[in-house]
Amino acid sequence: MKTIDVEILTKMFLAGAKNLEAKKEWINELNVFPVPDGDTGTNMTLTIMSAASEVNNLPKRTMESVAKAISSGSLRGARGNSGVILSQLLRGFTKGIREYDTLDAVIFANAFQKAVETAYKAVMKPKEGTILTVARGAADKAAELAQTEDDLDVFFMGIIEEAEAVLQRTPELLPVLKEAGVVDSGGQGLVEVLKGAYDAFLGKEVDYTFEAPKSAPVKISAETEAEIKFGYCTEFIIMLNGAFDQETEQNFKGFLESIGDSIVCVADEDLVKVHVHTNHPGQAIEKALTYGSLSRLKIDNMREEHEEKLIKDASRIAADQAQAEASKKAVQPRKEMGFISVSIGEGIGEIFRGLGVDHLIEGGQTMNPSTEDMLNAIEQVNADHIFILPNNKNIILAANQAKELCKDKDIIVIPTKTVPQGITAMINYIPDMSAQENAQRMTEESSHVKTGQVTYAVRDTHIDDKEIREGDMMGIGDHAILAVGKDLAGTAMEMFRALIDEESELISIYYGKDVKEEDAQELGEKLGEEYPDCEIEVHFGGQPIYYYVASVE
Q: Which of 37-51, 270-284, 333-347 shows the highest mean pLDDT? A: 333-347
pLDDT band at 108 (very low <50, low <70, confident <90, very high): very high
| Mean pLDDT (whole number) for 474-500 | 92
How many beta carbons lie within 10 A of that of residue 113, not counting itself? 18
pLDDT in tens, 196-233: 999 999 998 777 665 544 332 323 333 333 345 677 87
pLDDT of residue 134: 96
Angle at CA of residue 366, ends 22 and 377, nearest 5°: 105
pLDDT of residue 215: 32
300 vs 384, higher pLDDT: 384
For residue 243, pLDDT over 90 is answered with: no
Residue percentage of the chain with pLDDT more than 70: 87
pLDDT in tens, 443-464: 999 998 999 999 998 888 888 7
Q: Are strands 466-468 and 481-485 parallel, antiparallel or unpaired?
A: unpaired
Enter the pTM of the model: 0.68
| Mean pLDDT (whole number) for 63-86 | 89
pLDDT in tens, 27-74: 888 876 666 555 788 889 989 998 998 898 888 899 999 999 999 889
| Mean pLDDT (whole number) for 114-132 | 87
pLDDT of residue 254: 84
Our measurement of the distance from residue 423's CA atom to the centroid of its chain's CA atoms, rounded to an integer in Å, reads: 21
Question: Phi, psi at residue 131, to the nearest 5°?
Answer: -55, -30
Dist CA 88 CA 146 (whole Å): 23
CA atoms within a 13 Å half-sphere pointing along the CA-CB vector of 282: 0
